[in-house]
Structure 1
Amino acid sequence: MTERVVIVGGGVAGVSTAAALRSGGFDGDLTLVDAGDFPYDRPPLSKDFLAGTKDIKQIALQPPQWYDDQRVRLINRTAVTALRPRDAAVELPDGRLLPADRVVLATGGGAARPPIPGIDSDRVHVLRTADDADRLRPALAPGARVLVVGAGLIGAEVASTAVRLGCQVDLVDPVAVPLAAVLGPELAAWLHDLHARHRVTTLRASVESFTELRTGIEVRLTSVAEPRLYDAVVLGVGMVPCTELARLAGLEVDRGIVVDERHVTSNPAVLAVGDPARVRRDGALLPRTEHWEAARHDGARAAATLLGTAPPEPTAPWFWTDRHARHVEAVGHLDTAEHTVVRGAFDGPSFAVFGLRDGLVVAAASVDDPSAVRAARRMIDRRIPADADRLADPSVKPRDLLRG
């Protein structure tokens, strides 16, 4: 019987696991250990928090009283140093052991730092934590010359925030059209071109080296003849899953903590959720998912495993991002579609793109039209037949699309 659960990590996956356990009826001892000051949401780090319009309290995942109300023992500013499944315990830095019948690893990930010469310069920043954002914010002063490396979600959001703060921003990526796989080539190209409309210079290149100078940091780029000088560099080139605790505990690790579809690791006393979890399905290891909602769903599935209840039904993968005051949502992957249907006009106030295959919606993405993506998600999950003409007609309300 599971009476004591310890969750390691206070991101959305860890807090969602705790919430799902309590809402599912778990009445045992529940402890959440987090290395930060307080469990907070990470999407605002590249936007409102970085811009200084929200503080750490305003991006908390739950208010402080929630932990008391839900009888969740929160141990913050503390990093777990070891798992001891055989001893049914988790070890803390001071040598204390927390008793645990089951442990949930929600350890998240760290910002990737490629092996580029000069990358250890103090002018080279990453953005994964609130501390990272606090360190970066003073560098984004009006007029500062800023290079953002990586034009994916984080890079595009940081570039948008930096230019809004008055910085001179260059955005570099070796890929001609970032995010084309999930947004489709047409919408991805439109979004990437949006940077230029907001005074962000985009460069198709890779970084060769960084050199610290008295006047800034010199950056050599492939396909750019002369080095460029910046006041600050921000790396947005992905994340590295935090697997060290799992590895030291003897759990199976393969570019992530390997779990089954119930989120159980190679040791049945330990589960893993969120960014570091890598699911094995039918003998094959799947790519890790690193989006906010995927982490929340992981928490719900892990809680169901611990409670011995049926897991929630899977839904199509969904994510959102914001750049240059435009809100983007996507569900599924548009590169899996046979053809696409556009609803509205790309330069209009809002529009959406639906991806179809065999008469069904398999993906969708929108700009400032979240209701279209919500409808598409239901159509995907319920396999509702799609009519291309109705999808393309903005006069047809999104909820009416669900009638097939």
Structure 2
Amino acid sequence: MTGGVVVVGGGIAGVSTAAALRSAGFVGDLTLVDAGEFPYDRPPLSKDYLAGTKQLSEIALQPPQWYDDQKIRLLTKSRVTALRPDFGAVELTDGTTVSADRVVLATGGRAARPPIPGSENVRVHVLRSAEDADRLRDTLRAGARALVVGAGLIGAEVASTAVDLGCEVVLVDPADPPLAQAIGPEIATWLHRLHGERGIRSMRASIETLRDTGSGIEARLTGHDVPLLFDVVILGVGMVPETSLAEAAGLEVDRGIVVDRTQSTSNPAILAVGDPARVSHNGALLPRTEHWEAAQHDGQRAAATILGIAPPADTAPWFWTDRHHRHVEAVGEMSTAEHIVLRGALGDSSFSAFGLAGGLVVGAVAVDAPTAVRAARRMIDRGIAVDSDRLADTATDLRKLLRG
């Protein structure tokens, strides 16, 4: 295929789509439309960028020259306002159109703001963009009283950064412990306890109301009669997929842009990747995946679809989080494990846990042990049976287990 492709959105999914197209030999016109100053990486927004230890230019997904080298037309500070598949074009905010035989929607999403009374107050922040991080950083001064709502990946990372900046932090989440489904209850409990070791007060509760008192924002929590007063509130309670373009174009949308296994939407001229894409498989809609590598793989599959070549092989899902100076990685599906094999002790300088079912590794979590996750991924992808005792023995070379 040599016609034009327009990629809408410059997150990791959009940039990965463009990169995969060029690396696989696509020679047609390729345009990437991004609303920001340039495409940047989002995971650092809750960590290094929020802390002020990295500038925006340092978290760019690609250096500026890369787009020229790859012959990618990068349109920044611009948005697509309408898809015109019948005319082979997309329309931009200034009314101009860009020709497109195929369009890839990498539109991402927006941070969720639950219907909590008072949640629209200027003291209540979300974190999804660099602009969000800039506004939030200005409030996270030493001694500031910060309430973080939601102890998932974003909330926990923001809490960790805030306490490093000298804030007094309260972290609220109704789950006990958070992330138990993703990494197993034992490691989830240990990981959540790190907050307390750093001086963060964790509370199992939900927010009922938020009220600006002039001297701060008053939060009423479920199960607590006395409200708490804060200088800043951060909502880390998930994201809402951006589907407005897809809806206006008449695409199938159901809490995400519905795609098949090739990332194609209900209109074969339009594909969707990353956070807003929701796969329909065998008549069932699967949960959306909102992790960095999943978005990258979506882009690679979309490029393969456009080029009519074989997609990359599926691999076990993987994600990571950094908090309180510990690096945590998870791979596979720990929720399907029948039993857990711990390799090392909880709290060691590095340790890991492997989830097994039927003698096979189905998931793993590692703390400051990236080689363990890499080995676990190969075990999952290859369906290698492992001996629990050998796996638990830290003297066992995991590479030997890969050989069976």
Same fold (TM over 0.5): yes
Equivalent pair of 1:5/1:103 in contact (CA under 8 Å): yes
Q: Which amino acid aligns with 2:298?
A: D
Deviation at 1:335, TM superposition (A): 1.5
Match for residue 335 of structure 1? 335
SS of 2:39's equivalent in the other structure is coil
2:158 aligns to what? 158
User: Is there any run of 5+ residues in structure 1 with no aligned partner, and where?
Assistant: none
- State the alpha-carbon separation in 2 of the partners of residues 93 and 194 from structure 1: 46
Whole-Å separation in 1 of the counterparts to 2:56 and 2:45: 9
Tell me which amino acid in the other structure corresponds to 1:94.
D
TM alignment of 1:280-295, pairs within 5 A: 280-295=280-295
* Alpha-carbon distance in 2 for matches of 1:107, 1:250: 16
Q: Which residue of 1 aligns with 2:317?
A: 317
> Partner of 1:168 in structure 2?
168
- What is the TM-score when the length of structure 2 is the normalising length? 0.99
- Structure 2 counterpart of 1:185, one-letter code: P
Cα drift, residue 225 of structure 1 = 1.5
Counterpart for residue 201 of structure 2: 201
Shift >3 Å, 4+ stretches: none
Query: Does residue 73 in structure 1 map to residue 62 in structure 2?
Result: no
Write out per-residue CA displacement over residues 52-104 of structure 1, whole angstroms, 9 at most, x where no aligned residue.
00011100000000000000000000011000000100000111010000000
Is residue 301 of structure 2 the alignment partner of residue 301 of structure 1? yes
Q: Which residue does the alignment assign to 1:117?
A: 117
Matches within 5 A, 1:2-401: 2-401=2-401
2: CA distance, partners of 1:350 / 1:114: 37
Partners of 1:403 and 1:194 lie apart in 2 by 36
Deviation at 1:389, TM superposition (A): 1.1
Q: Tell me the C-alpha RMSD between the 2 structures.
A: 0.7
In structure 2, list runs of 5 or more residues that go unmatched: none
Cα deviation, residue 2, structure 1:
4.5
Deviates more, 1:350-359 or 1:390-399: 390-399
Tell me the distance in 1 between the aligned counterparts of 2:264 and 2:305: 8
Given that 1:2 and 1:101 are in contact with CA atoms closer than 8 Å, whether structure 2 keeps it comes out as no
After TM superposition, give the deviation of residue 257 of structure 1 in Å: 0.2
Deviation at 1:348, TM superposition (A): 1.1
Distance (Å, rounded) in 2 between the aligned partners of 1:196 and 1:314: 38
Separation in 2, partners of 1:400, 1:55: 42
Query: What amino acid is the match of 1:17?
Result: T
Q: Which amino acid aligns with 1:279?
A: V
What is the DSSP-based 3-state SS (H/G/I as helix, E as strand, rest coil) of the residue aligned with 1:81? strand
Q: Secondary structure at the match of 1:169?
A: strand
1:316–1:380 Cα contact (<8 Å) kept: yes
In the alignment, the residues of structure 2 paired with residue 221 and residue 2 of structure 1 have an alpha-carbon distance, to the nearest angstrom, of 57
Is contact 2:42–2:129 with CA below 8 Å preserved after alignment?
A: yes
Q: Distance in 1 between matches of 2:2 and 2:84?
A: 16
Partner SS, residue 331 of structure 2: strand
Given the two structures, how large is their TM-score scaled by the length of structure 1?
Answer: 0.99
Contact 2:338 2:357 (8 Å CA) reproduced: yes
**Structure 1 residue identity aligned to 2:350:** S
Distance 2:168 2:399 in 1: 43
Identity %: 70
Task: Count residues with an aligned counterpart.
Answer: 404
SS at 1:14 equivalent: helix
